[in-house]
C-alpha cells in the first residue's frame, strides 16, 4: 500500500511533543526572568548603599556636619542625592518598579504581587529592608 500522508496518531504525537517542549521552555524562561529581576533589585540596593556611604565619607572628609534627611528631592527621580543616575519612580506594580512611600520609606516590587519596603535611617545612614518582611531574609537583603 502506497502511503501519501500522515496518520492521525502521528499528528497527535507530534503536537503533543511540541506542546511539552514549549511548556518546559516557558517555565525555564519565567524562572530566568524572575532571577534577573531579583539580581537587578539587589544591584540597585548595593548602589544606593554605596552612594549613602560615599556621601557620608565625603561630608566627613570636608569636615562638615552630616545633615541628610532624605535620599532624594520630592520628585519622581528617586535617590538623586546619592546616585549619579537616579531611579525613576513608578506608580504601577510591576517587577523592579520603585516607589516612594515617605521621606525615609521606599518600596520595590519583585513582581505584581510581592514587594519589599526599605527604610532609610538618617541617624545611622543605613538603607535596610523592613525586617518584618520574610522576603528580605529569603533574598539575603
Domain boundaries, the chain: 8-138
pTM of the predicted structure, to 2 decimals: 0.75
Q: What is the pLDDT along the chain (141 residues), one digit of tens a residue?
A: 566 778 889 999 999 999 999 998 888 887 777 788 888 888 999 999 999 999 888 888 888 876 777 888 877 889 988 898 889 888 777 778 898 988 889 999 888 888 889 999 988 889 998 777 777 877 776
Distance CA 101, CA 32 (A): 29
Amino acid at each position: 500500500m502506497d502511503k501519501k500522508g500522515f496518520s492521525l496518531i502521528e499528528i497527535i504525537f507530534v503536537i503533543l511533543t511540541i506542546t511539552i517542549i514549549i511548556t518546559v521552555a516557558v517555565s525555564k524562561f519565567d524562572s530566568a526572568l524572575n532571577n534577573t529581576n531579583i539580581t537587578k533589585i539587589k544591584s540597585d540596593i548595593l548602589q544606593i548603599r554605596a552612594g549613602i556611604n560615599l556621601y557620608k565619607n565625603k561630608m566627613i572628609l570636608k569636615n562638615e556636619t552630616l545633615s541628610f534627611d532624605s535620599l532624594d528631592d520630592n520628585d519622581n527621580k528617586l535617590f538623586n542625592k546619592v546616585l549619579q543616575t537616579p531611579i525613576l519612580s513608578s506608580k504601577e506594580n510591576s517587577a523592579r518598579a520603585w516607589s516612594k512611600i515617605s521621606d525615609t520609606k521606599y518600596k520595590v516590587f519583585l513582581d505584581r504581587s510581592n514587594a519589599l519596603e526599605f527604610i532609610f535611617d538618617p541617624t545611622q545612614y543605613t538603607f535596610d529592608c523592613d525586617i518584618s518582611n520574610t522576603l528580605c531574609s529569603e533574598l539575603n537583603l
